[in-house]
Structure 1
């Protein structure tokens, strides 16, 4: 059974406590779908851009930047990270829908653009706009072109792409797939995502996105909708009610712990399509074929290599078909196979989070270094297997 495409029944495998919580969250009468940004229709994009301009005029960008700044240390580097940001993006979306009920928050699937992020259509003038220009690095195109932000002080919306305007590479879809499969606790999954894809997008977009007031840039909402989507994928794979690790106060994080600022229990945001979380994510964006499913087919073809079973344990389990006789003893190792992928390329090492930025954001250097080393080991394993990525 495919790890990314298998439907996980809401009640399957839940503890008694989890079942009680599931029953306490009524199913939504209707559910709207968050889509990848580039799959929006012209009408949908017109709705989104109109609402964003209205929210800027009415001070909402400043308000959400203020909240994120005020609570920054309580919502990063520990288990508030996923619940808070899910609730935060939902609150943004809820306010946006007061301006126009047709507004639905899109997401940016940054993994698709990991090799050369600056060339992403998302960062074109037709959508979110690109790098800042001039001495002040002001964003002059896209939906926020020429905006003046008011928090923390009056300034143009700024972006300053890393590596002199050519950030990247980021973290590959294959590596994020591996994190989804290997993480057995919420805290380990949180740390792996927070110090890989989450952090590198913030620092490499630069400007406002690299500060605690990052919600000044709408890229924040696109980015964190995608981070939320990845958490939901992990939840659906047998971790629906998994909440562990520590809270910002050092106490254990549980389903009954209140989400910072919102004074609501974590369990209130754990199940999409239930309670107030009346949204879902599109599973197959329009602009390209299903990404992770295709990669899984490729990866599965090299799972006879023990080192890749370590990186993709769920895919390895899925390749064991029930009811078949035990396989014959393995023959002597063959030469490392090269996976034939049209125009495939070796996965590059991802850029690292600068230690100075991790410290300035109140992060944990040991955690950041563990993720850095893990990502490098992953790339080495995929190179050894002869894997060539189509992305």
Structure 2
């Protein structure tokens, strides 16, 4: 295995000045910052470069390396305060290794909410990109950038995916629900539970195969998925939660900014704010700025929801100047707008909850919240443009 950890400046741009000074920040500001793109926005040349780097990393054993780390630390980096900091550091480590092969490599993300209605039909899961469901008794993947790969961790096996629902993946979580989670998450514990036990978990579970296992980094979708989860955390952080980390660690102690990240033994504070230290990345849809404002979606919500529904499920949006100036929308008016009602998201089977050592009460509570959200939105006549 080639240990290549060079830092190259390709794909970097000038770092915009941050307008908020944070006393908690002890890391040096990045002199430049690179942008992680949504996967389908990549050019043909970027995708060709990415595939070449991934093939080389597979050849040199890096997929097995990262799968082994994730497997070994699985119980400590989930269902605890380590979830967001560890995976931000983990994706950065992957990207760092990849840049050793080609300095122009930048880890993209997959915004799965774009494909939430019919995930199996996503363009991302076609042969031109990462491929789809596995075939045969072992569900070996035959198309996409990992087609025909043999994985070596934890033992030799074909790279596999085994979509649930007989390959017809049930709906995931809508962009509206994720926006609601971001706006209603008044603590790290609340926000983490809602992300980890909704979009995060359902993608791992529904895709099956290697991605369903503790050694899920065998599937490059892991990196796409967790880059997106990191993007959602960043959106939440920018809503006055930049340094919020109160939560329980895996040993049930209280987490602070000086608590070490599992495996890396580096303080959590080192990964909290993008644009500082080694975290010199931003996301195409969410560049570094002091406040998060998903203007397109939020404007749609303002112009499509009755005031009581807006304030209940989107408390930040409800306080925007545009919301105060907007007329109250009644359900019959909302129902006349273009779009479709939001479908109810898939639920986890109880055997999955048990095998993943999740607390059934918490899982049931989160899933009820998601169902209540859909019911409230549909009763209000809301039509999702997605």
TM-score by length of 1: 0.89
Q: 1:180 to 1:9 in 2, by over 3 A?
A: farther
Distance 2:128 2:192 in 1: 33
The answer to whether 1:11 aligns with 2:44 is no
**In the alignment, structure 1 residue 361 sits paired with structure 2 residue 356:** yes
Q: Does 1:79 align with 2:81?
A: yes
What is the DSSP-based 3-state SS (H/G/I as helix, E as strand, rest coil) of the residue aligned with 2:24? Answer: helix
What displacement does 1:282 show?
0.3
Map of 1:59 onto structure 2: 61
CA displacement at 1:21 relative to structure 2: 2.3
SS state at 1:47 partner: helix
Q: Which has the higher contact order (CA 8 A, sep 6+)?
A: 1
> In 2, Cα distance between the equivalents of 1:363 and 1:54?
36
Cα distance, 1:363 vs. partner? 2.1
**Aligned equivalents of 1:8 and 1:196: distance in 2?**
34
CA deviations 1:243-265 (Å, max 9, x no partner) are 11100011101111000000000
Match of 1:104 among 103, 106, 115: 106
Report the secondary structure of 2:282's partner residue.
strand
Segments of structure 2 that go 5 or more residues without pairing to the other structure are 1-15, 288-292
Could you say what secondary structure the match of 2:32 adopts?
coil
Contact 2:172–2:346, Cα closer than 8 Å, also in 1: yes
- How far apart, CA to CA, are the structure 1 residues paired with 2:331 and 2:115? 32
**TM-score, scaled to structure 2:** 0.90
Provide the C-alpha distance between the structure 2 equivalents of 1:142 and 1:387, rounded to a whole number of angstroms: 36
Distance (whole Å) between structure 2 residues aligned to residue 293 and residue 136 of structure 1 = 45
How many residue pairs get matched? 366
Q: 1:184-195 to 2 correspondence within 5 Å? A: 184-195=186-197
In 1, Cα distance between equivalents of 2:224 and 2:19: 27
1:314 to 2:316 alignment: yes
- Once the two structures are superposed, the pairs formed by residues 115-154 of structure 1 within 5 Å of their partners are 115-154=117-156
SS in 2 for 1:83: helix
Out of 224, 229, 232, the residue aligned to residue 231 of structure 2 is 229
- Matched residue, 2:270: 268
CA distance in 1, matches of 2:353, 2:17: 36
1:337 corresponds to: 333
Distance in 1 (alpha carbons) for counterparts of 2:383 and 2:67: 41
SS at match of 2:35: strand
Alpha carbons of structure 1 residues 85 and 60: separation in structure 2 relative to 1, 3 Å: same
CA deviation digits over 1:302-331, x for unaligned, max 9? 454313311000010114679x9xx99x9x
Cα contact 1:77–1:364 (8 A) shared by 2: no
Is the CA contact (8 Å cut-off) linking 1:76 and 1:363 kept in structure 2? no
CA distance in structure 2 between the partners assigned to 1:9 and 1:316 by the alignment: 26
Looking at structure 2, the residues matched to 293 and 208 of structure 1 have their Cα atoms a distance apart, in angstroms, of 36
- Over the aligned positions, Cα root-mean-square deviation in angstroms equals 2.3
CA offsets 1:181-240 (integer angstroms, 9 cap, x no match): 100111111100000000000001010111101000000000000000000011111111
Cα distance in 1 between the residues matched to 2:323 and 2:143: 52
Distance, in Å, in 1 between the alignment partners of 2:156 and 2:314 is 48
Gaps of 5+ in 1: 1-6, 13-18, 286-290
Distance of 1:263 and 1:28 partners within structure 2 = 22
1:244–1:252 contact (8 Å) kept in structure 2: yes
Post-superposition offset of 1:336: 4.5
State the partner residue of 1:373.
368
Distance 2:88 2:29 in 1: 18
Secondary structure of the 1:31 match is: strand
2: CA distance between counterparts of 1:388 and 1:207? Answer: 34
